[in-house]
């Protein structure tokens, strides 16, 4: 298993499915440019946040995904082996999500910093500039 960050465009509409145990998940296919050709990435998401993010997108939307990647191969009609990748997405980011996050930050009262953006104090930083 490989932890990966991939980006590309959705190929088709993401679809929500239900497992045999009754738990929802989302599947999607992403087309990523790799050198002279494109590679298809089969995506599955189980996390409610990642599922919701994928379902908010449509065909040809640009997306970046982070998660566990498994390389595979498939054979086309001519008998040529082609690469494929399976990704279990734990994080999903798109321009839509960036815009939504920016709007949420704009609604914050002035002077209030959201918890995830609170300043971080580095114990090794004495505050003086670096001299090169």
In a domain, 126, yes or no: no
Q: How many domains does the chain have?
A: 1
Domain-embedded: residue 122: no
**123 domain residue, yes or no:** no
Q: Return the CATH number at 105.
A: 2.40.50.140
- The reply to whether 10 falls in a domain is yes
Q: Is residue 55 part of a domain?
A: yes
Q: How far apart are CA 50 and CA 45, in angstroms?
A: 6
What burial class does residue 28 get, using C-beta atoms within 10 Å of its C-beta: 0-12 exposed, 13-18 middle, 19+ buried?
buried
Residue-averaged pLDDT of the chain: 84
Residue 76 lies in a domain: yes
Q: Is the pLDDT of residue 53 over 80?
A: yes
Q: In terms of residue numbers, what domain contains 95?
A: 2-109
Structure confidence by residue, pLDDT tens digits, 81-124: 888 899 999 999 887 766 766 676 777 666 555 555 444 445 55
pLDDT confidence of residue 92: 94
How many Å apart are CA 85 and CA 15, to the nearest integer?
A: 18
């Amino acid at each position: 298993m490989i932890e990966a960050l991939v980006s590309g465009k959705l190929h088709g509409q993401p679809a929500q499915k239900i497992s045999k145990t009754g738990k929802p998940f989302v599947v999607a296919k992403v087309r990523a440019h790799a050198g002279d050709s494109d590679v298809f990435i089969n995506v599955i998401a189980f996390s409610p946040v990642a599922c919701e993010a994928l379902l908010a997108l449509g065909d040809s939307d640009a997306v970046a995904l982070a998660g566990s990647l498994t390389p595979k191969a498939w054979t086309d009609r001519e008998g040529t082996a082609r690469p494929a990748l399976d990704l279990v997405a734990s994080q999903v980011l798109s321009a839509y999500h960036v815009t939504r996050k920016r709007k949420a930050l704009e609604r914050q009262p002035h002077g209030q910093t959201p918890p995830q953006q609170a300043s971080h104090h580095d114990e090794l930083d004495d505050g003086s500039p670096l001299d090169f």
